[in-house]
Chain A
Amino acid sequence: MGAFDFDVIQRALPFMWKGLQFSVQLTLVAMAGGIVLGTLLAMMRLSSHKLLNLPAAVYVNGIRSIPLVLVIFWFYFLVPLILQSVMGASSPVHVGAEKSALITFILFQAAYYSEIMRAGIQSVSRGQVSAAYALGLTYFQSMGQVVLPQAFRNMIPILLTQTIVLFQDTSLVYVLSITDLLGAAVKTAQRDGRLIEMYLFVALIYFILSYTLSELVKRLQTKVAVIR
């Protein structure tokens, strides 16, 4: 091991900045898509209709019992085939690793967010739903205007904590050779032969970002707590 080379880090900064932008973009898109889809899944699971709750339960439990790496490979393989049959194309539709990763993370995170939203919906007292129905609201009106706003508020800290986990998980797109934050560091490390500097530096960036975010979530938690 030679002397620690700070120069290599400095030269890699613009490239890593690009990688970080992709990581953040992937995190935000997966969070937005995952929460919307996850809320729908949670509503399906809480429905008394077998045709709605069974598929949702199978999907959520299935996704949650296999590793994210395997899910990434699954969708990388499946997405072109699904698009082919949806669009009626004659051969599998190539979407590229980046788009495939976006779709994968939305669908994967939906399973995790749905468990959080399910707990959130259940945390709203029964009386609220009864009151909404008594006022003559339909299912979707009572969900949209009474239950979900409270469920979201109760679950904001947990949803955000899950998003920090998601941000860390995005590093796994490395297996598709995508240039995210980690991908940029690995590529630089291998090109310049400076593994130690790059790996320690990227670990430091992840640590600072995740730690700062989780401290902010902790502070938020005391602020949004609903007094009952």
Chain B
Amino acid sequence: MNYNWNWKIFWDPVAAGKGVYWEWLVSGLAWTLATGLLAWIIALLIGVVIGVVRTTPLKWLVVLGNAWVELFRNIPLLVQMFLWYFVLPEFLPFGLGTAMKQMDPPWATFLPAVLCLGLYTSARVAEQVKAGIQSLPRGQTLAGTALGLTMTQTYRYVTLPMAFRIVIPPLTSEFMNIIKNTSVALTIGLLELTQRARDMSEYTFQTFEAFTAATVLYIAVTLIVVYGMRRLEKKIQVPGFIGTGGQGAGR
């Protein structure tokens, strides 16, 4: 392989603009994390509500929840990204649409990216939450009702506290997905980690070094999140009920 290795490239000043190349990558990582975290908050809030709603006996709410999940699950993320960025502003009231298009550079792509990722992931969170609730034995809900709790109280004090613990592992992998999926936003111009690595490779031709650095950063984020979630899981586990990784549920 004829390749000119140059691992010192990260400390070289950027050809156009200020700073050095590693600063590009770090700022890319910062945008990746900011987009992912903000979208994750939206995804959790909406996803939990939709997931819970789909397990209730209220028919029209179940239908609505199912429609939401099918809509966001069956269109590729990239297409959804384009819809938020190119199509949505045209359907908003004139002033709002123009305002959305004319925001300052990072925000005009950041906002659609966050909304797109948030809603896309909310459908996936909803699936996990629903599966978590349904994995609980029916007896729990029945016992709650037998004790005279209302439906809301049964959810609040019986089903949800257990279900949330069960869905932590699958939600951890959804969180990893949202971090990875932020890279799709480079198609609408968000300067996140993958785009920064690509820019660096185009400016310097040190593609191998740039991509390796991005890969290492993504893997580091994965490891930190997995470690953190494992500790959280241990900390909130109910003694004698749920073992590690959600096993033993339904005993």
In the complex the two chains form, what is the Cα distance from A182 to B86 in whole Å? 14
In the complex the two chains form, what is the Cα distance from A84 to B1 in whole Å? 7
**B219 lies within 8 A of chain A by Cβ:** yes
In the complex the two chains form, what is the Cα distance from A182 to B82 in whole Å? 11
**A202 lies within 8 A of chain B by Cβ:** yes
Contacts of B183 in A (CB 8 A): 67-70
Contacts A65-B176, A182-B78 given; does A77 touch B211 at CB 8 Å = yes
Nearest chain A CB to B16 CB, angstrom units: 21
In the complex the two chains form, what is the Cα distance from A196 to B184 in whole Å? 20
**Given B71, B184, B207, B222, which contacts A207 in the complex, CB threshold below 8 Å?**
B71
User: Number of A interface residues, CB 8 Å?
Assistant: 33
**Given B91, B194, B222, which contacts A70 in the complex, CB threshold below 8 Å?**
B194
Name A's interface SS: helix
Chain B interface residue number, banded: 35 or more
**A152 lies within 8 A of chain B by Cβ:** no
Contact between A168 and B184, CB atoms less than 8 A apart? no
Contact between A66 and B78, CB atoms less than 8 A apart? no
Contact between B181 and A67, CB atoms less than 8 A apart? yes
B72-97 to A contact mask, C-beta < 8 Å, 1/0: 01111111101100110011000000
In the complex the two chains form, what is the Cα distance from A116 to B57 in whole Å? 33
A56-77 to B contact mask, C-beta < 8 Å, 1/0: 0000001001111110011001
Of A14-22, A32-40, A138-146, A170-178, the one with at least 4 CB within 8 A of chain B: A170-178
Contacts of A168 in B (CB 8 A): 74-77
CB-CB nearest in chain A for B32 = A67
**Given A172, A175, A196, A207, which contacts B90 in the complex, CB threshold below 8 Å?**
A196
Nearest chain B CB to A37 CB, angstrom units: 20
**B3 lies within 8 A of chain A by Cβ:** yes
Contact between B74 and A211, CB atoms less than 8 A apart? yes
Contact between B219 and A199, CB atoms less than 8 A apart? no
Beyond the given pairs A203-B83, A206-B76, 5 more chain A to chain B contacts, judged by CB atoms under 8 angstroms and listed by A's residue number, are A67-B180, A69-B186, A70-B218, A84-B1, A210-B74
A sample of 23 cross-chain residue pairs with beta-carbon separation below 8 angstroms, ordered by A number, consists of A66-B218, A67-B194, A68-B180, A69-B186, A70-B183, A70-B211, A70-B214, A73-B194, A77-B208, A81-B3, A84-B1, A171-B78, A174-B78, A195-B87, A199-B79, A199-B83, A199-B86, A202-B79, A203-B75, A206-B74, A206-B75, A206-B76, A210-B75
List chain B positions with a Cβ less than 8 A from chain A.
1, 3, 70-71, 73-80, 82-83, 86-87, 90-91, 176, 180-184, 186-187, 194, 197-198, 201, 207-208, 211, 214-215, 218-219, 222
